[in-house]
């Protein structure tokens, strides 16, 4: 399961970043930045030397050719979900809510499943969410909600005129990745999510996952020691290779408990950062998923996985975190079964792109919270996040996510990216997000 706890470095909340490329901020929104937005030290940002006007988004120079910057959109796996995700964007920006509602319409009308929005109250302005604040939800709700928010965030980025060169996905994130890269349309994307949600629920609770700040080599040595002490030959596996210094380990509940005890009692590793991931309801990316192989593949084979998206960005090149290479096979039932069974190689892929593109590559994480920031930076890449989980005292703030999104646009601008849309097309969106009208 591709999730990393919040281990980012945050900067002084009194600091306010200029958003002059977007529009002059209103007094009330400017105040909200310092009071409510969880600002962070984005090392991926290249500071502007000037405060450019809105029109600077549309300079003639092309920053996406030759040696210019290249954007990789990263669709991460489960774990950063929370009840407030996407709600402020849905309140302030009707096209975002329309995208969410279209996802739900497809789930109900095409796949005959109950409405996620009606059951949970997620995303809908003014509705009370029935899901707990910790994000520890049923796998069905986690998977569907995560795909919903990733599809709609990607739609919003495209509506703002930003183009990606590369796309990667980890774990459940590969579902929306295929949509973004034009491999299949929205309806198929929701069908894949429904297949994941329905069949993975059958193995819910089969194990646990922890995040550990260890190298893969250290993790393997510790796993071997824990298995030896427990008298077992299997039951613990590295499920995700996040970076050179971070992995996820999944396995049976008794062995995960034994692993924690080993780390606590070890002189060498007692100070190692390790945390159980309660938001992950099964031992994903391990052989413990084998029991659902037949129903999972059968559910996917009922879908038209080759129905290309008319709105996708077909020229986006995809790297597979399952194969560890450029994607060179179809995203079919065999591929997605490998996604369920095999470990992810997010860190390997990021390092390969950094090796090929150098400092020109920028990673934009598409998720409910910037879970992969630290790992991207450990791989030597520059990072931009979109929206962030509210702090406990800002859950009722109505401008939080909108300002965060505008900050992300500022960061992309400062990194050298430009909107491809005419000024008259994108400016109303920026005004809507800024003013909340």
User: Would you kindly state where each structural domain of the chain is located, as residue ranges?
Assistant: 27-42+68-201+295-435, 208-288
Task: With a cut of 70, say whether residue 45 has pLDDT above it.
Answer: no
Residue 99: the pLDDT is 96
> Residue 145: its pLDDT value, please?
95
- Of the chain, the percentage scoring pLDDT greater than 70 comes to 80
Q: What is the pLDDT of residues 87-97, one digit of tens each?
A: 999 988 888 99
- Find out if CATH 1.10.357.20 is the number for domain 27-42+68-201+295-435: no
What value does the mean pLDDT take over residues 1-20?
Answer: 37
CATH number of 208-288: 3.30.70.250
pTM for the structure as a whole: 0.83
Residue 36 has pLDDT above 60, yes or no: no
Of 20, 72, 70, 33, nearest in space to 365 by CA: 72
pLDDT of residue 32: 33
**333 near 297, Cβ under 8 Å?**
yes
């Amino acid at each position: 399961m591709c999730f990393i706890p919040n281990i980012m470095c945050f900067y002084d909340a009194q600091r306010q970043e200029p958003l002059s490329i977007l529009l002059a901020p209103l007094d009330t929104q400017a105040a909200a930045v310092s009071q409510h937005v969880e600002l962070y030290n984005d090392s991926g940002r290249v500071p502007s030397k000037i405060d450019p006007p809105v029109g600077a988004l549309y300079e003639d120079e092309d920053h996406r050719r030759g040696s210019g910057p290249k954007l990789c959109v990263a669709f991460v796996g489960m774990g950063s979900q929370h009840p407030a995700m996407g709600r402020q964007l849905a309140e302030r920006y009707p096209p975002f809510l329309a995208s969410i509602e279209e996802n739900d319409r497809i789930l109900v009308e095409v796949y005959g499943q109950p409405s996620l929005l009606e059951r949970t109250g997620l995303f809908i302005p003014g509705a009370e969410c029935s899901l707990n604040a910790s994000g520890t939800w049923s796998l069905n709700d986690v998977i569907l909600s995560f795909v919903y928010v990733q599809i709609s965030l990607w739609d919003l980025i495209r509506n703002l005129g930003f183009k990606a060169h590369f796309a990667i996905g980890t774990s459940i994130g590969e579902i929306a990745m295929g949509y973004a890269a034009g491999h299949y349309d929205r309806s198929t994307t929701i069908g894949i999510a429904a297949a994941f949600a329905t069949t993975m629920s059958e193995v819910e609770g089969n194990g646990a996952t922890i995040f550990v700040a260890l190298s893969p080599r250290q993790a393997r040595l510790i796993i071997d020691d824990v298995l030896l002490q427990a008298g077992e030959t299997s039951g613990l596996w590295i499920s995700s290779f996040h970076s050179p210094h971070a992995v996820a380990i999944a396995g049976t509940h008794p062995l995960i408990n034994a692993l924690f005890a080993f780390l606590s009692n070890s002189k060498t590793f007692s100070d190692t950062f390790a945390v159980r991931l309660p938001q992950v309801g099964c031992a994903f990316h391990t052989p413990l998923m084998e029991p659902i192989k037949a129903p999972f593949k059968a559910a996917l084979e009922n879908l038209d996985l080759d129905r290309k998206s008319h709105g996708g960005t077909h020229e986006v090149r995809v790297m597979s975190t399952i194969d560890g290479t450029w994607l060179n096979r179809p995203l079919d039932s065999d591929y997605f079964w490998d996604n369920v069974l095999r470990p992810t190689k997010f860190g390997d892929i990021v390092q390969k792109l950094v090796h090929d593109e150098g400092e020109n590559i920028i990673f934009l994480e598409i998720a409910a919270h910037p879970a992969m920031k630290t790992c991207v930076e450990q791989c030597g890449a520059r990072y931009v996040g979109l929206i962030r989980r509210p702090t406990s005292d800002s859950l009722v703030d109505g401008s939080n996510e909108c300002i965060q999104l505008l900050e992300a646009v500022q960061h992309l601008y400062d990194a050298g990216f430009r909107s491809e849309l005419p000024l008259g097309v994108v400016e109303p969106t920026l005004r809507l997000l800024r003013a909340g009208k």
